[in-house]
Structure 1
């Protein structure tokens, strides 16, 4: 199975989701600044990384975990879905794919922090806002990851797309 977490920039909530999924960060508490900043790719990707699948590792069941930043392009996820369908039909690709949107977990502090840090390169303003936002939403992201894992088991489809609108 392959998990792909996606959002606007692909470097904040997606990186946290991948870290939770791979059990790289604690799930039983609000994360510290150090734990947040040590997450792979957290606040490290740039606009040149948008649209690229970033591999984060294999989970305890051997499932690959990826993230992708899609900006506000509504065609990225359908394109991935269409490519997977093509591979399944033409090349006997049988891997189940789960695409999970982390955007509904993003608090305003994280959006503003990401704009300052990644967009304007003003880290002294952006990073504290990103940390505050990450602390605010880390429990939601952890719940989203758990629901994503459950959906991967409960749904029979070979491609599962989760918009996760209930996290708004």
Structure 2
């Protein structure tokens, strides 16, 4: 199975989702620390040039691949990738289930502002603290989103490519 977490930039909530999925960070009663957040692979490290790239994060405990994707504002990227995946599956006997999971619904406003300052304007001294505040606000929602995504992946659903738009997990 292949999991692809996607959102606008692909460097904040998607990075956290991949880290939760791969158990690089774990859910607990406490919020993540600043250091835990900033040490997540790819967290706040991608640039505009990385948009559209499917980035490998690792293999989970079930042998499934975990990726992230920054799709910018295009609503067409994920449906196009679904169609391409279905084409490859039908023409080349590629049978692996692919799940696209949208992390955008978990993004709090403060994280959007932090991302704009840090990634957009390159003003990290303003952006990074806002990103950390936002990550602490949404980490529980991201964890629940990942758990739901993994549960759907394990289901006996016959679909070979699944798009999860998701909702805010509270």
TM-score > 0.5 by shorter chain: yes
Give the distance between the partners of 1:86 and 1:129, measured in 2 at CA. Answer: 41
What is the SS of the residue equivalent to 1:24? coil
Paired positions, count? 168
1:159 maps to 161
Which range moved further: 151-160 or 60-69?
A: 151-160
2:41 maps to 40
1:128 maps to 129
Shift of 1:165: 2.5
Deviations 1:93-144 (A, max 9, x none): 0000010000000000000000000000000000000000000000000000
The 1:2–1:100 alpha-carbon spacing in structure 2 relative to 1, beyond 3 Å, is same
Give the distance between the partners of 2:154 and 2:161, measured in 1 at CA. Answer: 12
What is the SS of the residue equivalent to 2:66? strand
TM-score (norm 1): 0.98
1:79 aligns with 2:74: no
Shift of 1:153: 1.7
What is the SS of the residue equivalent to 1:165? coil
Backbone CA RMSD of aligned residues: 1.0
Runs of 4+ in 1 over 2 A off after TM superposition: 165-168
Which range moved further: 150-159 or 79-88?
A: 150-159
1:10 maps to 10
Give the distance between the partners of 1:20 and 1:120, measured in 2 at CA. Answer: 28
Give the distance between the partners of 1:25 and 1:61, measured in 2 at CA. Answer: 17
Tell me if structure 1 keeps the 8 A contact 2:141–2:168.
no
Deviations 1:51-86 (A, max 9, x none): 000000000001000000000101100111011011
Give the distance between the partners of 2:116 and 2:168, measured in 1 at CA. Answer: 25
**Unaligned regions of 5+ residues in structure 1, if any?**
none
Shift of 1:166: 4.5
